[in-house]
Structure 1
Amino acid sequence: MRRSSEETKAVILGAARERFAADGYERATIRAIAGDARIDPAMVMRYFGSKERLFAAACAFDLALPAPGAMPRERVGELLVAHFLERWESDEALQILLRTGVTNPSAAERMREIFAAQLVPLAAELSGDPESAPRRAGLVTTQVLGLALCRFVLEIPPVVAMGREEVVRWVGPSVQRYLLDPA
């Protein structure tokens, strides 16, 4: 069965996401990814050029942050924590980046780029203070990445056992403070 170029890329990316999630960046190989996708390794290289570029494509994602004006100001922290929980649970690219970012400098850089590009503008708009926005976004990032690491990767039992609403109640006020309290 012949696939279109877009279908082939999608199959490769799906296989890459699964392989990077299972094996990590260092142990995942182009040959293994190609085998999972049931294609020749040369095709992976044709479409992506290198393992690094394949990884970047497999981990490309939009945080899909809600618009600041769409959130009641007094619930911003809660809504963002709930949003991030939903994203972590539904998008394996985020979990791949998290797992790999802990040990791979390229993955860590990719994570920094994504969070800075998408969270800093939100922090600037919400706080009305562009100068403190990188610091605010960085602190929010510590909360959501720390939560994701403990809940989805390390699977710390008390954190895993918490319901979504309970997590939101505990973590939301910290995110709220980071974004809206005076610097």
Structure 2
Amino acid sequence: MPDTRRSGAETRERILAVAREHFARQGYDRTTIRAIAAEAQIDPSMVMRYFGNKEELFKVAASIDLALPDLTTAAPGEAGRVMAAHFVRTWDAEGTLMALLRRAASDPQAAEQMRGIFASQVAAAVAPLCHDPTEAPRRAALVATQLLGVALGRYVLRLPPIVEMTPDEIVTWVAPTIDRYLTADPAHLPQK
């Protein structure tokens, strides 16, 4: 007799894999439960059984582990480069993250999910670099503005100059700003 828990888990993962691909390729609005079910070779009711509705499926599919690098191992002055390079690779490889970014621009729930991903994961990566741990959320938010801005310009708005840049060029331009956000001593920043 087959292990139904195992086959159920496999079905759920197959649905998620197909959903991630559809959301990344077509965006949220053009992706349908029927298309996901057809590619996963299951009945659409199975998608609903596992995820309830398209919104919940998207929420689970877009739960992304950014797999951020340990910035404490970066050479002095290189943390920004390490972070920027990681994100450029992630944006280029992770279509679901792009689908979430596109949707977050106009959907409050998707925006909240994107904020949660960046607030928790980026802040956790930034915190060990902070002399004052209370600075981590602010520094992480500043880093996120740079990284999300690059992604928006390159992949959503498709601004020609940034689209034409190589990943290494983007890292070279953005890394110093990110490094400043990560490591600048607030006492040495311009005051009002």
What's the TM-score once normalised by structure 2's chain length?
A: 0.86
Contact 1:25 1:104 (8 Å CA) reproduced: no
| Residue 64 (1) aligns with residue 64 (2) | no
Residue number among 133, 137, 140 corresponding to 2:136 in the alignment:
133
Contact 1:30 1:51 (8 Å CA) reproduced: yes
| Residue 38 (1) aligns with residue 41 (2) | yes
Deviation, structure 1 residue 179:
0.9
- Map of 1:147 onto structure 2: 150
- Map of 2:166 onto structure 1: 163
The residue type equivalent to 1:81 in the other structure is A
The range that moved more, 3-12 or 124-133, is 3-12
- Map of 1:6 onto structure 2: 9
Whole-Å separation in 2 of the counterparts to 1:28 and 1:105: 19
Aligned residues: 181
- Map of 2:182 onto structure 1: 179
Residue number among 103, 116, 124 corresponding to 2:127 in the alignment:
124
Whole-Å separation in 2 of the counterparts to 1:26 and 1:61: 20
Residue number among 78, 87, 90 corresponding to 1:84 in the alignment:
87
The residue type equivalent to 2:52 in the other structure is G
The residue type equivalent to 2:14 in the other structure is V
- Identity across the alignment (%): 51
SS of the residue 2:77 aligns to: helix
SS of the residue 1:175 aligns to: helix
What's the TM-score once normalised by structure 1's chain length?
A: 0.90
The residue type equivalent to 2:89 in the other structure is E
Contact 1:127 1:180 (8 Å CA) reproduced: yes
Q: Which runs of 5+ in 1 are unaligned?
A: none
SS of the residue 2:69 aligns to: coil
Deviation, structure 1 residue 68:
2.5
The residue type equivalent to 2:166 in the other structure is G
Whole-Å separation in 2 of the counterparts to 1:32 and 1:100: 19
Contact 1:21 1:99 (8 Å CA) reproduced: no
Report Cα offsets for 1:122-144 as digits up to 9, x if no partner.
22211222222111111100100
Deviation, structure 1 residue 19:
2.8
Whichever of the two has the greater Rg, that structure is: 2
Deviation, structure 1 residue 23:
4.1
RMSD after superposition: 1.8
Q: Which runs of 5+ in 2 are unaligned?
A: 1-5, 187-192
Whole-Å separation in 2 of the counterparts to 1:51 and 1:150: 27
Whole-Å separation in 1 of the counterparts to 2:65 and 2:22: 21
SS of the residue 1:74 aligns to: coil
Contact 2:62 2:97 (8 Å CA) reproduced: yes
The residue type equivalent to 1:38 in the other structure is Q
